[in-house]
Chain A
Amino acid sequence: MEHFFVLDGEKIPFTPGQTIMDAATTAGKYIPHLCYKKGLSAHGSCRMCVVKINNRHFASCTTKAADGLIVRNRTHEMTEGRRTSLQLLFVEGNHFCPSCERSGDCTLQATAYEMGMLTPHYDHFFPDRRVDASHPDIVLELNRCIQCELCVRASREIDGKNVFALAGRGMASRLIVNSESGLLGDSDFEATDYAARVCPVGVFLKRTGNYGAPIGDRTFDERPISSQAATASGADHASDVAEDERRALGEVATELEAAR
């Protein structure tokens, strides 16, 4: 029997066990998201992918697809809510897009364009988070972290390492590195780690080879993020590990986890 639900009036097939997000992405449909990445466990923290089903709100990355669901995704109301969430993320951190090396490759920025966010609307918090330049290859610009935990999960589930974690509560919540000094250079992180590639904003900055693609010719400068939905989180699609390879790595990671 074929299973499907309805997303903004379109039939979306799914296999039992899939989330709404998984099924929609497979079908090439775009549900905005920041903390979701195909191949990593779902998190549900950014709340960008919240959709409405029977007048109730659900995060599509953590909600299982079910037969006959009527899912409202790109409606005026949902877009407005997402715009608010984006504005909250923009003012919580320091995002100076024009001077950011990730501009044009940044999922936060691309999603903001997609949602028609024109101003930050709220007063900026201007946090003062330290930049970690202790690693030979990668600099962590933590002022841009949106606490999505993609790097945390990538390091644990794919790299089998546990380099990152979130610590603290509420507004004091922040990304930390698993080393006694708290510095990236003292951890077992390597620039080839998957964790170095999943960040949806500009926290992980390469020391060399920047501006290879000039601003204006980058992933989301070419086409809006919604038209790149099938690649889940567009920015990294070129460098993504192939799906099955990733799964194999995931199994290794799980084994490592179990062995520990």
Chain B
Amino acid sequence: MYPVVEDILTRNGHDPTRLMMILREVQAVFGWVSPDTITQIAAAVNRPRAAVQSTVEFYTFFNAEPVGHYRVLFSDNITDRMLGSLALRDRLCAAFAVRPGEVSADGLVSVDRTSCTGLCDQGPAALVNTRAMPNLSPERIDAMAALIRDRRPVAEWPADWFDVHENIRRRDKLLGHGLTPGAPIKAALDRGPEGVLAELSRAALRGRGGAGFGTETKWRICRDAPGYAHYVVANADEGEPGTFKDRVLLASCPDLVFDGLVIAGLVTGARKGMVYLRGEYAFLYPRLTELLAQRRRAGLLGNNIMGVGFTFDIEVHLGAGAYICGEESALIESLEGKPGKPRIRPPYPVTQGFLGQPTAVNNVETLALAALITTHGGDWLKDRGTPTSVGTTMLSVSGDVERPGIYEYPYGVRIHEVLDAAGATDTQAVQIAVGAGKCLVDTEFERRIAMEDASTTGSFMVFDRTRDLFEVAANFVEFFAHESCGFCTACRVGTTVNKRLMDKIAAGQGSPQDIEEMQRMHRHMQGASHCGLGSTATMALRDILNKFRPAFERRLLSTDFEPAFDLDAELSEARDLTGRDDALAHLAPAHARR
């Protein structure tokens, strides 16, 4: 029994739905979640021990085995790699004579990679004991190594190392909204729930989380679904590589997002709203919770909002490093303290979500837009965008550009306009969505960002002509292999088979058959996966493969079948043991590596 753990449990009310928050605190205190703390927590929250262990082992930021006292995770997005993240990681490893993924002998440090941290506009980035650290450089790595050697607590490291910038480069109607906190709630109370729904319908607001579902319809279904309680959730998981718009929205207009969530509560009849904030964005947590406290004091949250007897409150829940938790049913599992594995649908969360009750999950940007539409009316956004894609969109621009950051543009903006604004030269390709797979080449730069043309969830990664698109594809393949939840066969094993095939090609052992295998796996995973992660995991690979086939082909060993290993190299150990290295100790030259 650890008294600190008991404290943490008591503060969280021994509530199994707060398991993620409990584990986060335990991890922060001990640096890992040991078997005896798992037993203690399980007994306190009244769950089987194995269930708590499942949750611990699912998330990247929880460790069931001891890690270094300082745990440094380098962001492994392709844009971070382009900015030299792997060399920085190796530099830190060298300083402590530790290999990536291992703990130093004295238990002081462990160095590893993590999926995209959402700081692509200010990379290379890393998380130090889960605190985000952008703009790394060799000098900073050396200074960091010295601080670690002196065992200085991370809290005492130079504060400016942890400054995260918003980098807003272009504002339009959303980022330049100018509303005072609570004004949208006032408008919603004036219009009433039906009035709000009417404006959302007039604006034809579609969700900005990827699926593009009509927000009015979602709120209506949720409101009408039977249940003893209703819930609304802001999806701030944003794990899509290359996107960081939700981070910037939560940093620059958090009140607007909270107003949107309150309005969602008013319309659906929910009394509780939750923000599911990805663990990588934990640096926003203190500011957001402080703002919620302020709003309670100002009568914008809590009992009797604006004196009309409407009760609603908001909690921020932190994730712990799992891309799949952006998928709404996995997100709800995570909110309930479980591993983030997508549920069987139907039933959809909107009728049976959090604790089995009707739950509306909306993207952060969707909620901000709902607040604006409620205030200004459904026609307000109509002077922006295209007939089918109304309004504006926030693009997270990173990669080979002079001015990375957030660009809010009306839908219909052409790719080359964004490239020009961001200062891109000699652009070879732009990846505008990893999940949806779209990689655009220069002949496509006249295309427009819009649902009906080039649709994106905001990612806009730019690659100039010095870049090797094979490396880009390999990075995405690794991402999905790392982030598959493991629930279904097709995605769990398929993503790993693809990763092994890419490794084989990268090692110069590939054959055209391996490329054909990846195409086959693409078709298989599309049909056989349980959720959107698996069915889209090979989209980017396929698009890059189709458009940049020579980048793959020039790595192939031959045009025939090749085994995954080098027969002659496999014999090297035997040669060492026998002390032989003559011609007869080698396989025929035809088999040897060319």
Contact = CB atoms under 8 A, between A and B. Distances in A.
Contacts of B495: 170
B16 to A, nearest CB: 11
A45 B489 contact: yes
Contacts of B483: 170
22 contacts: A45-B487, A45-B530, A47-B529, A57-B527, A81-B527, A89-B489, A92-B492, A122-B497, A123-B500, A162-B50, A165-B50, A166-B54, A167-B53, A167-B54, A169-B59, A169-B486, A170-B482, A170-B485, A170-B486, A173-B492, A178-B50, A180-B35
A260 B45 CA distance: 11
Nearest to B492: A170
B107 to A, nearest CB: 22
B481 to A, nearest CB: 7
A88 B50 contact: no
A165 B486 contact: no
A173 B564 CA distance: 25
Contact of A88 (B35, B59, B487, B497): B497
B530 A169 contact: no
A83 to B, nearest CB: 10
Contacts of A59: 530
A52 B57 CA distance: 35
Given A168-B54, A170-B485, 6 more contacts: A88-B490, A123-B564, A146-B489, A168-B486, A170-B495, A172-B486
A164 interface: yes
Nearest to B517: A122
B577 interface: no
Interface string B41-58: 000001011110110111
Q: Taking each of A42, A84, A179, which has the highest tally of chain B beta carbons within 10 Å of its own beta carbon?
A: A84
Interface in B431-486: 481-486
A170 B481 contact: yes
Contacts of B424: none
Interface string A222-247: 00000000000000000000000000
Given A57-B528, A125-B496, A173-B492, A165 B53 contact: yes
A114 B195 CA distance: 59
B486 A47 contact: no
A182 B49 CA distance: 10
A84 B493 CA distance: 11
Contact of B48 (A48, A50, A88, A165): A165
A46 interface: yes
Interface in B352-397: none
A178 B43 CA distance: 12
A115 interface: no
A171 B481 contact: yes
B5 interface: no
B496 A171 contact: yes
Interface of B: 35-36, 39, 46, 48-51, 53-54, 56-59, 322, 339, 344, 481-490, 492-497, 500, 520, 524, 527-530, 564
Interface in A147-201: 147, 162-173, 176-180, 182
Contacts of A146: 489
B70 to A, nearest CB: 23
Contacts of B59: 169
Interface string A112-142: 0000000000110100000000000000000
B195 to A, nearest CB: 36
B485 A180 contact: no
Interface of A: 42-48, 50, 52, 57, 59, 62, 81, 84-85, 88-89, 91-92, 122-123, 125, 146-147, 162-173, 176-180, 182, 260
Most chain B CB within 10 A, of A88, A165, A169, A171, is at A169
A30 B59 CA distance: 38
A91 B493 CA distance: 9
Nearest to A164: B50
A138 B490 CA distance: 30
A85 B53 contact: no
A88 B530 contact: no
Nearest to A174: B57
B71 to A, nearest CB: 17
Nearest to A90: B493
A236 B161 CA distance: 61
Contacts of A62: 344
Contacts of B322: 169
Contacts of A123: 500, 564
Given A62-B344, A170-B495, A172-B57, A81 B481 contact: no
Contacts of A164: 50
B513 to A, nearest CB: 11
B496 A47 contact: no
Nearest to B486: A173
B493 A179 contact: no
Given A165-B54, A167-B57, A180 B39 contact: yes
A47 B487 CA distance: 10
Contacts of A176: 50, 53-54
A50 B50 contact: no
A81 B528 CA distance: 8
Contact of B528 (A50, A122, A177, A260): A50
A170 B484 contact: yes
A88 B494 contact: yes
A255 to B, nearest CB: 16
A192 to B, nearest CB: 20
Contacts of B496: 92, 125, 170-171
Nearest to A156: B48
Nearest to A84: B524
Nearest to B38: A180
Contacts of B58: 167-169
**Which A-B residue pairs are the 3 nearest by beta carbons?**
A173-B486, A178-B50, A165-B50
B566 to A, nearest CB: 14
Contacts of A162: 48, 50-51
Q: B322, B490, B500, B527: which has the most chain A beta carbons within 10 Å? A: B527
Contacts of B36: 180
A163 B50 CA distance: 8
A88 B59 CA distance: 24
Nearest to A92: B493
B529 A180 contact: no
Contacts of B48: 162, 165, 178
